[in-house]
Amino acid sequence: MRYASAVDRLAHLGSAKWAIHIAGRQRAARGEKLIFLSIGEPDLAPPMAIIDVADRQMRAGRLRYSAGRGELHLREALARHYTRQTGRTIGADQFLFLPGTQAALAVTFMAIIEPGNEVLLLDPYYATYEAVVTAPGGIPVPVPLDPDRGFHPDLDAIERAVTPRTRAILLNSPSNPTGAVFTRAENLAIGEIARRHDLWMVSDEVYASMIHGNHTFHSPFFEKELEERTIVVSSISKSHALPGFRAGWVAGSADFCDHLLPVSETLLFGCQPFLEDATAFALDNHFDETDAMKRAYLARARVLMNGVKSARGVTTHLPEGGMFLMLDVRGTGLSGEDFARRLLDEEAVVTMPGESFGARGAGHCRVALTVDEAIMGEAAARITRLANRL
């Protein structure tokens, strides 16, 4: 049988990135004890009140087909949330409810990319970005971020990467994997480039609620003059530790949402009403659990940082946001890939090689801050042991 070229385009983008994680899983299945720091899955329990709403609403029969855009009451909760965040009135017609940020990214690029169009990815970038651009025939164009500047954007490099075929720039702040949080000045400067070349700014804000230290979250969507070209994709997967709910959304101009609707409807005939109810509840309320999660990620990052202080050739900095920390292992002389492989083989610690997130991730390993402080301390001791043996 004949298959679409998209299948071939996507085939090489998957499993190689996860080779070390998959090897770790196989060893764990054989009974070995390993410390997994490879996957960004929240380990702390979600606020039970949200689960209660989903449960109650399911039992109350909220199980029918719902509207293609998402039900109005949920979009109104989203509108309240973004009105609070942006300080200007955001309407319920500026959202589509979708099963997660990943789905939101996929339909967004289907709606804005023609085959042969280029999309700028700030490198290192989240592991699925190449695929969401490539699926509709787009060409991912990595723009290097400088590890020695905390992986903050290099505006000249962005400008230089723009060609007549460029249609969009994909932003992710707080970043997975780097932990960088872009400042307002950076977003405005990128916005200026986007305005000059008429580009979309797709802003993946799945870690927006996890800002550490004295950093502040800023989105291009906060700027009225960038609203028409900004598309925010997000979810409650990380903010409320509910990735299995697959509850996410797109936020943008009303015009963009109108254009996106027929694309998203080819994929979904509406979403799950009981999850829409639970998501609206999550957005309208404050939960101590989510504050505790944020504190826990930062405390774990500190434990790891302190624990690897004496590791030869390894440096780190605290993440500005999100739930990951980058170990800079360039000083060991090993690639991120080789360090991660030896860490697995010799110390039973599973991390993600920085190379899995693009060329600029080279010489780094990404650590997910998803184990408690005691286990993180043990992981740090093992990392130090390996580094000092090299």
Residues at the site binding ligand PLP, with contacts judged by CB under 6 A: 40, 100-102, 126, 172, 176, 204, 206, 235, 237, 243, 248
Q: Which is nearer to ligand PLP, 230 or 235 (CB)?
A: 235
How far apart are the two ends of the chain, measured CA to CA in Å? Answer: 51
How far apart are CB 175 and ligand PLP at their closest, in Å?
7
Q: What is the DSSP string of 183-206?
A: -HHHHHHHHHHHHHTT-EEEEE-T
Give the CA count within 13 Å in the CB-facing half-sphere of 137.
11
How far apart are CB 75 and ligand PLP at their closest, in Å?
17
How far apart are CB 39 and ligand PLP at their closest, in Å?
8
CB 161 within 8 A of CB 143: yes
Pairing of strands 248-251, 95-98: antiparallel
User: Looking at the DSSP assignment, which residues form a beta bridge with residue 232?
Assistant: 203, 251
Q: Which is nearer to ligand PLP, 77 or 334 (CB)?
A: 77
Euclidean distance between CA atoms 67 and 222, whole angstroms: 27
How far apart are CB 248 and ligand PLP at their closest, in Å?
4
Q: Which is nearer to ligand PLP, 130 or 347 (CB)?
A: 130
Q: Which is nearer to ligand PLP, 113 or 131 (CB)?
A: 131
Tokens of 123: 């490198």
Q: Which is nearer to ligand PLP, 101 or 264 (CB)?
A: 101
How far apart are CB 101 and ligand PLP at their closest, in Å?
3
Question: Which secondary structure element, helix H or strand E, spans residue 42, and what is its range?
Answer: none
Q: Which is nearer to ligand PLP, 229 or 238 (CB)?
A: 238
Helical pair 288-307 and 373-389, crossing angle rounded to 10 deg: 20
Residue with tokens 């000092």: 388
Phi, psi dihedrals of residue 361, rounded to the nearest 5°: -80, -5
Longest dimension (CA), the chain: 60
Query: Please, which residues have CB within 8 angstroms of residue 372's CB and are 6 or more apart in sequence?
Result: 43, 296, 300
Q: Which is nearer to ligand PLP, 172 or 335 (CB)?
A: 172
Q: Which of 84, 141, 131 is nearest to 106 (CA)?
A: 131
How far apart are CB 172 and ligand PLP at their closest, in Å?
5
Q: Which is nearer to ligand PLP, 57 or 235 (CB)?
A: 235
How far apart are CB 179 and ligand PLP at their closest, in Å?
11
Q: Which is nearer to ligand PLP, 212 or 330 (CB)?
A: 212
Q: Which is nearer to ligand PLP, 38 or 237 (CB)?
A: 237
Q: What is the DSSP letter of 47?
A: P
Pairing of strands 166-172, 139-144: unpaired
Euclidean distance between CA atoms 158 and 203, whole angstroms: 15
How far apart are CB 115 and ligand PLP at their closest, in Å?
24
Residue with tokens 């770790």: 24
Euclidean distance between CA atoms 233 and 92, whole angstroms: 15
Note if the bond before 140 is cis, omega within 30 degrees. no
Helix or strand or coil: residue 353? strand
How far apart are CB 16 and ligand PLP at their closest, in Å?
18
How far apart are CB 86 and ligand PLP at their closest, in Å?
21
